[in-house]
Structure 1
Amino acid sequence: MSKSRESTTVDVVVVGAGFSGLSAADRLVSMGLSVQVVEGRDRVGGRVLTGEVAGVPVDFGGTWVSPRHTAIRELAARFGCTITPQFADGRNTLWMAGRRRTYKGTIPPVSPFAVVNMARVQMALEKLVGTIDAEAAWKSPNAEELDAISFGQWLGQQRAGTPTRALMNVVSRVQWGASPDDISMLAVLGYIRGAGGFDHMLDVENGMQQDRITETTQEIAQRVATHLGDRVLLSAPARRIVQDRSGVTVHTDAMTIAAKYAIVTTATMHRKDIAFEPALPERAVSLSKLWRLGGLSKAYVAYETPFWRKDGVSGEAISDTGAVFITFDVGPEDGPGILLGFCDPGLFDGFDPENRRRRVIQQMVELYGPQAGNPIDYVDHCWLEEEFGAGGPNPALPPFALTSYATALTEPHGRVEWAGTETAAESSGCMNGAVVTGQQAAERVAERIGKESGK
């Protein structure tokens, strides 16, 4: 990775060194084009980041890969990273209405009425998912009607019972970092369609949480960046992108890059932070203001051993109260035991570190018993405090956002192409979506360069 230089000239400049930007650069280099990647952070990876608890590397950001996520799997394998199955043996845990119980399966059977109610609501949801245009949700039948209401309003229309709404609230917070009342129903349906269905979105076995990267997901990004070498420049946020008929010039805090084309892979909400000349169309500016990421934080608690496994408990839990709303067992097979908790920023981020730790451990005791009160280590990460890409993995899109502005999501701005997991139709918000869109943007730019050069 390169140090600061005053200026350089390349075929393509890539803004952002997350999976999308790195994949775009990697693909362009493989096609014989010269590339410069600029990244505002002092590290690569974007919304993937490695932390450590009890001496074990853990993922503060993107964590899991599905069997369907072939692009990120191929990238990991190519750079020598391996797969670890997500531990899911045993019974899951539910804390609801002040009561703890365990269960098998994806959806907890709270009561016979709740089971019937949940099944009916899920069936109605999946029926609507089947009507969604897989490539452009805003082109679906009844798109405007579905985009005019929130997920929460739709649940009300379906007469979702209290347990069903509580479970859907957990789903909404972990997937979109917001409550059902804040998310467009069309956005929910489009995401579920791109994720491969409701069950695939939630499941461990054969689902989106099936596997983890043994070396952590950021390690893949670091190895790709090492492969690219001086083509990656850190601590160089793009401030201005100027273009004319012959090329683009990207101005950063560290250097100026002249190129034939630019690929911008930043989180969509950061497009408005770059001065474009000529300016972005009004619709594109509005897009970047509305396409804000939801909030999500993570906490890891480590123990001498994964004691819950001896009790036949999986470490996967759902809670309807407190800061932690879902947990997973992410410890190595030979110990220590490590529980990951997804946390609601509104009930978590505003507290000091010791208070956050106390609140998380208290919930672990409620879920897993007195032994959970004696951890050997703790660490957390609040994503809303990040300067770049602050929030969770997905945008929390309000009603009307998709039908009003989504066409600007991928529409090129002259010589500027867009990429990033938010632009993906399939596996949006996932690392796989980032890799795929980066590679696709690289191929589009390479084709445009080829046409201009007569090749």
Structure 2
Amino acid sequence: MNTPDRSPQQSPLQVDAVVVGAGFAGLKAAHDLVNNGHSVVVLEGRDRVGGRVFTGEVAGVKVDLGGTWVSHRHTAIREIAEQVGCTTVPQFAEGRSTVWLAGKRRTYKGTIPRLSPAALVNMARIQLALDKLAKTIDVDAPWDSPRAEELDAISLEEWLDHKRARSTTRALMTVVTKVEWGCQPSDVSLFHVLRTIRAFGGFDFMLDAEGGMQEARYVETTQEIAVRYAALLGDRVRTGAPVRRITQEADGVTVETDALQVNARYAIVTTATEHRGGIEFEPALPENAQGLINSWGLGALSKAFVAYDQPFWRADGLSGEALTDTGTVFITFDVSPSPDGPGILMAFCDPRVFDAHHPETRKAQVVKQLTDLYGPAAARPIDYIDHCWNTDSFAPGGPNPAVAPYASTRYGSVMTKPHGRVEWAGSETAGEWTGSMNGAVLSGQRAAEAVVGLLATESHTRKKAYS
């Protein structure tokens, strides 16, 4: 990898395909194109690769400030990680989890907190209804599913009203929407929720650590996978090169950064749907594609890591997993490297009451809540780090689009529709595993296959013309 010289006198690069974005989608697309014998350049606006995966450090331990977990079913990302020598460690889930709801602290075993019998029955009924509806969604063409428009016409919160969800059920569903889409239940359509549940293989699988979506983490961190994978591409990857403009002619595309011009046969753009709006297209994107950009904005999510000498909660029989319906923190996980320490708790934080504060205030908020959840020992951390994705200096927001009612069925079908010689990829463009690192890899594979086919067709046509 290298960062391009900022001199405006650089000669244009000539390649078969240019890839915009060096997250997992872009890197996978580039690798597949190279493996098919094509010349490629990858342009990344940040000064690093990885996109929404990002490594931080707390108490000398590398941690995932962005995307974190993989399942045994995430074969696409696992194959890449194995190729570059990155290894998984199971997500610690031994012992009882903690829940703080309506001002009361309890502990429980399993995925769903064991509250009152009535609350448990209500949650089970809601979960069953969501799974049943999710099975009606076509994961590859969700917008064409039966009742798609009906299900997209209401928010998750409105549906919970209709289903007479109890306060405890609503609190738990709020935690789910904050983690998965970075928003409140009122901000996301029922249809978008169902699409994700279907793509992830069911509600339980979406939430579970043991055997589910949170099954394992990478010792080296997920960004390290991207760093090593990008290194295999060498100087084909250009960081610090935000794409400003993409113009098309009948026989190719021109992609411009602040200091570099790339002429290619085709382009693959892997930025989040919202951030497609930061690129000027000529010819301009059609009206429905602009509607997608305007209505598929990313949610907001922040993460904090608090380190201790040891994972003291384990001695109390606690897993380090907690749910809470109040304050800044709404879910925690134990990401300690070993039983001997340091002990590290990962805390997901609500950006509405977190991001605007000074770092020391943010730390105090988090430590206070961890003390409520885990006792006085939590008040004595040895280190702390956080990251507010919504205030990120480049391409802010995450983890996934928070798609409001009507926007999925109105605009979702154009998400992968090519714009001339521009193909689209990125996690949210995937069918199965949409919104995950595995989905990002699969989307890059799909886009590369399309470009490889188009290049082959053009080559065949040219040969016939000269034969």
Map of 2:406 onto structure 1: 400
The DSSP-based 3-state class of the residue aligned with 2:319 is strand
Q: Shift in Å at residue 389 of structure 1?
A: 3.2
- Tell me what 1:358 maps to: 364
Say which of 20, 28, 38 aligns to 2:25: 20
What is the correspondence of 1:265-280 to structure 2 with a 5 Å cutoff?
A: 265-280=270-285
Matched to 1:368, the amino acid is: Y
Q: How far apart, in 1, do the equivalents of 2:113 and 2:233 lie?
A: 46
Deviation for aligned residue 1:290 = 0.9
- Name the stretch that deviates more: 99-108 or 382-391: 382-391
2:77 to 72, 90, 99: 72
1:340 maps onto 2:346 in alignment? yes
2:430 is matched with 424
Q: TM-score, normalised by structure 1?
A: 0.99
The answer as to 2:395 corresponding to 1:389 is yes
Distance apart, 1:135 and its partner CA:
1.1
Q: Hey, what does 2:231 align to over in structure 1?
A: 226
1:129-148 equivalence runs, <5 A: 129-148=134-153
The answer to which of 113-122 and 352-361 deviates more is 113-122
| Cα distance in 2 for residues equivalent to 1:160 and 1:364 | 28
What amino acid is the match of 1:2? Answer: N
Q: Residue 387 of structure 1: CA displacement?
A: 3.2
Contact 1:297–1:343 (8 Å) recurs in 2: yes
Counterpart of 1:65 in 2: which secondary structure? coil
* Structure 1 position 157 matched with structure 2 position 153: no
1:313 counterpart = 2:318:
yes
Instruction: Kindly indicate whether residue 430 of structure 2 is the aligned counterpart of residue 451 of structure 1.
Output: no
What is the identity percentage for the equivalent residue pairs of Structure 1 and Structure 2?
63
Are 1:367 and 2:373 an aligned pair? yes
Query: What displacement does 1:377 show?
Result: 0.3
Residue 93, structure 1, aligned to residue 98, structure 2: yes
CA offsets 1:379-421 (integer angstroms, 9 cap, x no match) = 0000001133312221000000011111110000010000000
Q: Could you tell me which runs of 5 or more consecutive residues in structure 1 were left unpaired when the two chains were aligned.
A: none
| Structure 1 range deviating more: 268-277 or 414-423 | 268-277
Counterpart amino acid of residue 4 in structure 1: P
Q: Distance in 1 between matches of 2:355 and 2:180?
A: 18
Q: What secondary structure is seen at the aligned counterpart in 1 of 2:232?
A: helix
1:180-228 superposed Cα distances (whole Å, 9 cap, x missing partner): 0110010000011001110000000110000001100000110011111
Aligned partners of 1:373 and 1:74: how far apart in 2? Answer: 40
- 1:324-364 Cα deviation digits (max 9, x unpaired): 00000001113100000000100100111000000000000
* Cα contact 1:235–1:254 (8 A) shared by 2: no
SS of the aligned residue for 1:237 comes to: coil
What is the number of residues matched between the two proteins?
Answer: 455
Residue aligning to 2:214: 209
Q: Does the 8 A contact of 1:47 with 1:389 survive in 2?
A: no
2:282 counterpart letter in structure 1: E
- Give the deviation of 1:3 after TM superposition: 3.6
Q: Answer yes or no: is 1:289 the counterpart of 2:294.
A: yes
For residues 252-301 of structure 1, what are the alpha-carbon distances to aligned partners after superposition, in whole Å with 9 as ceiling and x for unaligned?
11200000000000111111111111111010011011111111000000
Code of the residue aligned with 1:26 in structure 2: it is H
Q: Does the residue aligned with 2:78 lie in a helix, a strand or coil?
A: helix
Answer yes or no: is the 8 Å Cα contact 1:53–1:300 preserved in 2. Answer: yes
User: Pairwise CA RMSD of aligned residues?
Assistant: 0.9
State the alpha-carbon separation in 1 of the partners of residues 336 and 259 from structure 2: 40
